[in-house]
Structure 1
């Protein structure tokens, strides 16, 4: 099972003050539960070594399981084999579009992906022909989050290889009406600004797999995992070695020296806690692993590939400190 939370709402959703048991809209939305979102879908290409290679190069995954005379596809590619590309699929059901239109008409016109779950039942190998069916699994009652108020919609896709169930993919979105921005709230209810109302940077997701990394950050140490069996370094933190599969590991402390391997400049979407444009870099550490963080110390348009950088820790607020990289020789 692979569960990859990605919740930009930051707070656990909660119910707004209304009686959801007598919500006519939700009753209409629940009628879509169990209806198909795609029927008899067919992957545009069979599982193939070229796409496996591209995926592994993009992810930096060098596992021998994905190469050689009898490779398998990385499990996390499960959804990739079902994607329709720019031209889309023609076998999509109208139920999902109807549900989306109903939410749009009710004012829930914004959408954000919140999380996905995958379950793997058998490995996929080059030559496997992919088919799939998708169903609208659930529509939540109206919920309020940091982003706004709306409904969570979950779809489940059953993915088959040669007719045999290979895995399932659950995908959840929030269709919502955006919450009023701070400046809009001030217009309707003028009051002195409070420190608690200032926008905060999103909180990192800390779990049992990466808690040690954040413990190191709290001590101003950048810790990199090292396999206890083959000594391969890995970042970000993972529960097992992607070189030999071992679950035993220890850590080494990075020197903090690195270079910009690649970067992007963020212009939008605007988020209250950030001030675009700003540079986000993929930094190659002296130890050989790469990590993503902000590049500071130079204007965003002066960041260059190959630029030397050095680790420092940025105190974002009273609760949050983050590792960032300052361009060498620039202040």
Structure 2
């Protein structure tokens, strides 16, 4: 990808405003069983999603547009052409970066949704740690009876992978995503403290950290420090695909803390094939140092004498 005038960027921007997906109709009306399954999976006990007058959780917006295993009719020629231009230029890798949703009106059981998607924007050429490429944003509008019910923006980075300076250089460990909702948790970890959010309205503990309580909707919270004791609630052993800075196979566990919440982390202290559901574990804070600076992460070590 040459420097100077970005001729490719100009060609890509010509696709802005063109359809990204064939307009479609939701395969099922908004319905109570799917709402119930979603709430059970997410642990959301809000009364707004049950009984007469119930609404669908706003974050289910995309659920009602999914095609399932059989899929929808698919992408438009314009979107395929856009991706083809990027592939031809060397931007053969892709990573999803973020999504945004807006909810002009709630969805209710019985609503029949229609949707369409457009290529909303293509960024100027950007250089990132992954490589150089373009951010492509698509916007899906979801309607009921012609009335806008929700908007879903999905952004990807289509890029040419950056070359490593040295094959012998050990890959850096990826950093956790820290934002305004999770900053307090990672500040605690840096101090070797495992902090759990607690709703000041109903006292419910929650993890991962969220801006509001799933149980009562209260936005106010404080924290309690976990003892660090827990058990392996479930686990997987990672063999493939390999990730830079990690050496498979290794065990990743869903740990149930003594306080009742669960969190995902590595299980250490025993060979990966000795990890079992119910094993007692205790948090351990591990420090890592590389070009990006110091990093502290919580892992869970099997209690001595177990396993």
**TM-score normalised to structure 1 length:** 0.85
Mean CA deviation greater in 285-294 or 143-152? 143-152
Please give the alpha-carbon distance, in whole angstroms, between the structure 1 residues aligned to 2:200 and 2:172: 38
Residue 66, structure 1, aligned to residue 41, structure 2 = no
Distance in 2 between residues matched to 1:179 and 1:205, nearest whole Å? 21
How far 1:162 moved relative to its partner? 3.0
User: When the two structures are aligned, how many residues end up with a matched partner?
Assistant: 303
CA contact (8 A) 2:22 2:73 kept: no
Are 1:325 and 2:297 counterparts? no
Once the two structures are superposed, what CA deviation does each residue of 1:99-147 show, in whole Å capped at 9, x if it has no partner?
1112112221211111111111111111111111111011122222222
RMSD: 2.0
**Where in structure 2 are the equivalents of 1:85-100 lying within 5 Å?**
85-90=68-73, 92-100=75-83
- Please name the residue that 2:10 is paired with: 27
Determine the structure 1 residue equivalent to 2:62: 79
Give 1:39 deviation, angstroms. 4.1
Task: Report the equivalent of 1:18.
Answer: 3
The 1:182–1:305 alpha-carbon spacing in structure 2 relative to 1, beyond 3 Å, is farther
Give the deviation of 1:272 after TM superposition.
Answer: 2.0
For the 8 Å contact 1:41–1:91, the answer to whether it is kept is no
2:245 matches 1:273 = yes
Residue 199 of structure 1 and its aligned partner are, at CA, apart by: 2.4
Which residue pairs with 2:39 in the alignment?
A: 56
The answer to whether the Cα contact below 8 Å between 2:196 and 2:225 also exists between their aligned partners in 1 is yes
2:27 corresponds in structure 1 to 44
Aligned counterpart for 1:222 among listed residues 194, 199, 217: 194
**Shift in Å, 1:91:** 5.8
CA distance in 2, matches of 1:161, 1:94: 26
> 1-side partners of 2:159 and 2:74: how far apart?
27
User: Contact between 1:41 and 1:92, CA under 8 Å: does it hold in 2?
Assistant: no
What stretches of structure 2 of length at least 5 have no aligned partner? none
For residues 1-331 of structure 1, the aligned pairs below 5 Å read 18-19=3-4, 22-90=5-73, 92-184=75-167, 198-317=170-289, 318-329=293-304
Cα 1:106/1:298, change in 2 over 3 Å: same
**1:228 offset after TM fit, Å?**
0.9
State the SS of the aligned residue for 1:261: strand
Structure 1: any 5+ residue segments left out of the alignment? 1-15, 187-196
Cα distance in 2 for residues equivalent to 1:263 and 1:162: 45
